[in-house]
Chains A and B, each alone.
Chain A
Amino acid sequence: QVQLQESGPGLVKPSQTLSLSCSVSGGSVTSGGYYWTWIRQHPATGLEWIGHIYYSGNTYYSPSLKSRVTISQDTSKNQFSLEMTSVTAADTAVYYCVRSNADLSNAFDIWGHGTLVTVSS
């Protein structure tokens, strides 16, 4: 059974870079048919898709975040990562790493537990 686990700092200062990693167990980030995805959830504004990376390394980002976001993968560690630059308090949220499954019409079928990131000085 595939499992995802987020890791990274829970507190980031304004204007700095948020960096999170997602470890994949029970499966491989190089498997075709899956998009490895980051989603965040704000208490006030709900769930927001940030972007994803395909096994080939192709990336797709939300147009509203594209200028600040990079998603990458480390096949040797079977991980994928999120970097978000120039963060503000509005980036405070629970961040989930998620698998999108082509067999399920690209539905998000497996989620990590989520990690709370607070942006504050």
Chain B
Amino acid sequence: AIEMTQSPSSLSASVGDRVTITCRASQGIRKDLCWYQQKPGRAPKLLIFAASNLQSGVPSRFSGSGSGTDFTLTISSLQPEDFATYYCLQNYNYFTFGGGTKVEIK
């Protein structure tokens, strides 16, 4: 089974900060990687698919990059509504989620 390791598991940041979250796959997964945002009590929301494609309706401050085993989610200027938990998901061989990164207010 492919394992997905996210880092950091949590971070504190201020509004306007640039935030970067990484995800590493235990084996190559081409660009078969998605990013999700989840707020408490809500279902996850798709942000990025195929590593770098922005889902319709998602603000352009979110971007994704990477291929193979190493991937990055970047929020260019953190907004108040962005405080949430973020998950990566590999959909190359079955589906495996990362452990999550909680973005908190500094």
Contacts and interface: CB of A to CB of B under 8 A. Distances in A.
A48 B97 contact: yes
Contacts of A49: 94-97
Interface in B50-90: 50, 53, 55, 87, 89
B5 interface: no
A16 B84 CA distance: 35
A17 B100 CA distance: 30
Nearest to B45: A111
28 contacts: A46-B99, A47-B44, A47-B89, A47-B97, A48-B97, A49-B95, A49-B96, A49-B97, A63-B94, A64-B1, A104-B53, A105-B50, A105-B53, A105-B91, A106-B91, A107-B34, A107-B46, A107-B49, A107-B55, A107-B91, A108-B34, A108-B36, A108-B44, A108-B46, A109-B49, A111-B44, A111-B45, A112-B43
A101 B95 CA distance: 14
Contacts of B94: 49, 60, 62-63
B3 interface: no
Q: Is the interface of A mostly helix, strand, loop or mixed?
A: strand
Contacts of A48: 97
A108 B99 CA distance: 17
Interface of A: 46-49, 60, 62-64, 96, 100, 104-109, 111-114
B53 to A, nearest CB: 8
Contacts of B32: 105
The 5 closest A-B pairs by CB, nearest first: A111-B43, A107-B49, A49-B95, A47-B97, A105-B50
Given A104-B49, A105-B91, 7 more contacts: A46-B100, A49-B94, A105-B34, A108-B46, A109-B55, A111-B43, A111-B45
Interface in B4-53: 32, 34, 36, 43-46, 49-50, 53
